[in-house]
Structure 1
Amino acid sequence: MRPTLPAAAALALTALSAAADPAHPVTYHTLEVEGVPVFYREAGPAEAPVLLLLHGFPSSSHMFRDLIPELADSFHIIAPDYPGFGQSGAPVRADFGTLAQTMTALTEGLGLTSYTLYMQDYGGPVGMRMAVQHPDRINGLIFQNATIHVEGWSPDVVAQFAPFWAERTPETEAPLRQFLTAETTRWQYEHGSTRTDRLSPDAWLSDQAGLDRPGNDAIQLDYLWSYQDNVASYPAWQDYLAAERPRTLIVWGKNDPFFTMNAVTGLQNLLPNAETRLYEAGHFALETHTPEIAAAIRDVMAH
């Protein structure tokens, strides 16, 4: 039986962050989208430009808990949890095509007709699918440690995924199961960070609580299997960026163990007018550099 993922006790929902801007508090909602309960955080004036925050693996909208109050006076912010993550329900199908369709349906259910996409990790393939399908809805793109180039991957990570994508068996799946362990989840946050005193354990404990729910391992492995479809789509996404040249901001933790600086170079070659801000941070740069990233978003996108 497919597991349900109840919106229960796994998160400490950030009352402290919401208090940072009492004029624009963060509110919490769930909308049924194509039969799946999708949880999202919302803040900011309804008439302001929309900023859609698309999280990575193995996180949720929880990763934006500090960023949202920083920008809520200038943007109408929507930060969903993907099906299978955070407080959302289990997906009907755990693949990236379905995931992007669900996120698009969420925006349509909320009446959003244009938005800037903030894309981190999994947010890259989700957001690029949304952009290619509806280019008229895109006001801008923000890439944060999300690659659309094969050259942007760490060779060590490619070596882990290649046998699994070539043939899915219990043996090839076993190395990928390491991505679901508490040790790896914490490592993803700590590796490459230069401000370790700013790393909140709430981040990896929240993520791990989601990963450890009964049946969630199968969902996450299906997403990891589906990731090869993203790699196959890279040329089409590159063509879109080269042709459309949307307003783009690149904010990047330079010490990312998954997506290297070659990913940044690839984006810069496609988008020579993109603004780039680099930080001495790892894969989850927001954990340590929220004020700087928020300032960059204001500089580039809030006009």
Structure 2
Amino acid sequence: MNSSDNTMNPAVFLHRQLTVDGVFLHVISAGRPDKPALFFLHGFPENWQAFEAVMSGLCNDFHVIAMDLPGIGKSGKIASSDKRTIAGYVKGVINALEITDVTLVGQDVGGMITYAYLKSFPNELSKAVIMNVGIPGVDPWPQIKQNPRIWHFQFHNIPDLPEALVSGKQRTYFDYFYNTIAAKPDRISDNARDAFAEAYTSADALHTGFEWYRTFEQDEKDNVITRENQIQTPVLYLRGEKEYGKLDLYLDGFRASGLVNVQGQIIPGSGHYAPEEATDEVVTFLKEFMTETKK
């Protein structure tokens, strides 16, 4: 199996619209409902399809689930984009699906939501995976914010201006990120890039994507409040080899924040968009993590 040519066996995906607190959410699933569930949460500037190839690689052994985050793609918008609020909607989806053996897998903003879920609903998840992201208020967050390579944090935080400049140019703007923070930009196909741009076409969706950054200050406050909560849930932190920053700094920050059962792995040759850049490797890491002794 070679992730570079997307030769994974195609999965049969079930698409549905679930209602959580009056909001329609686009939820996608495949695989075996009798098996443990892996629930994938995408980041910026992507939608659920960021995990499509990974889900195809896991669906023979697990119940795989993904969603368009609230406000993105085919999911309805919500009033606030802070990560604790979004985690509440993720919990609503889990409850609606009536699944109990759940591992959340979050990439980028999805990783922030996974962390918020762990802290908001302690020890409810079977396991959790956080991938290629720093967490607001958790070391090394101060260094991340000061890194000039992360210029877009400040730009996206400006009210209204990003929407005005990016509207109608989503594909061009998003391509910048795929081409600069991926180690293997060619692994993010033109079709995928078109789909991601389409998911942010509406004014509400584009606004939602930038609001994820504008709520970082609230996320920091929420995460400081919950820092003392000791979380026993096994957590795997995955980081691309070509990502900026040392893995151990992130692991130390997680442990100091109360994740007492966290381990880390480097994804060889990958940059920020590991589910597409290193599909096979991500599938392998997830399978290994899922088959480890449960809590």
Structure 2-normalised TM-score?
0.81
Distance 2:197 2:155 in 1: 26
Matched with 1:287 is 276
Runs of at least 5 residues in structure 1 that lack an aligned partner in the other structure: 1-15
Question: Does residue 73 of the first structure (1) align with residue 52 of the second (2)?
Answer: no
Distance 1:87 1:161 in 2: 25
Describe the shift of the 1:234–1:157 C-alpha distance in structure 2 as closer, same or farther (beyond 3 A). Answer: farther
Distance 1:26 1:175 in 2: 32
Is the contact made by 1:190 and 1:282 (CA closer than 8 Å) also made in structure 2? no
Describe the shift of the 1:141–1:184 C-alpha distance in structure 2 as closer, same or farther (beyond 3 A). Answer: same
Letter in structure 1 aligned against 2:29 = E
Aligned with 1:112: secondary structure? Answer: coil
Structure 1 residues 279-288 or 34-43, which shifts more?
A: 279-288
Matched with 1:6 is none
* Superposed counterparts of 1:1-303, under 5 Å: 20=9, 25-148=12-135, 149=138, 150-151=141-142, 153=144, 155-156=147-148, 161=153, 173-174=161-162, 181-236=170-225, 238-240=227-229, 243-256=230-243, 260-262=244-246, 265-268=249-252, 270=255, 274-303=263-292
Two-structure CA RMSD over aligned residues (Å): 3.1
Runs of at least 5 residues in structure 2 that lack an aligned partner in the other structure: none
Is the contact made by 1:84 and 1:91 (CA closer than 8 Å) also made in structure 2? yes
Letter in structure 1 aligned against 2:221 = A
Aligned with 1:123: secondary structure? Answer: helix
Distance 2:271 2:207 in 1: 27
Is the contact made by 2:163 and 2:207 (CA closer than 8 Å) also made in structure 1? no
Letter in structure 2 aligned against 1:137 = E
* Cα deviation, residue 252, structure 1: 1.6
Aligned with 1:87: secondary structure? Answer: coil
Kindly tell me the number of residue pairs found equivalent between the two proteins: 277
User: Structure 1 vs Structure 2: percent identity of aligned residues?
Assistant: 20
Is the contact made by 2:155 and 2:162 (CA closer than 8 Å) also made in structure 1? no
Report Cα offsets for 1:30-79 as digits up to 9, x if no partner.
Answer: 11111111111111211211111111112111101100011112221111
Letter in structure 2 aligned against 1:64 = F
* Cα deviation, residue 286, structure 1: 1.3
Is the contact made by 2:231 and 2:261 (CA closer than 8 Å) also made in structure 1? no
Letter in structure 1 aligned against 2:189 = S
Distance 2:279 2:127 in 1: 19
Is the contact made by 1:52 and 1:77 (CA closer than 8 Å) also made in structure 2? yes
* Cα deviation, residue 208, structure 1: 1.2
Distance 1:238 1:26 in 2: 37
Aligned with 1:261: secondary structure? Answer: coil
Distance 1:65 1:285 in 2: 12
Aligned with 1:91: secondary structure? Answer: coil
Is the contact made by 2:119 and 2:231 (CA closer than 8 Å) also made in structure 1? no
Is the contact made by 2:16 and 2:26 (CA closer than 8 Å) also made in structure 1? yes
Structure 1-normalised TM-score?
0.79
Is the contact made by 2:17 and 2:26 (CA closer than 8 Å) also made in structure 1? yes
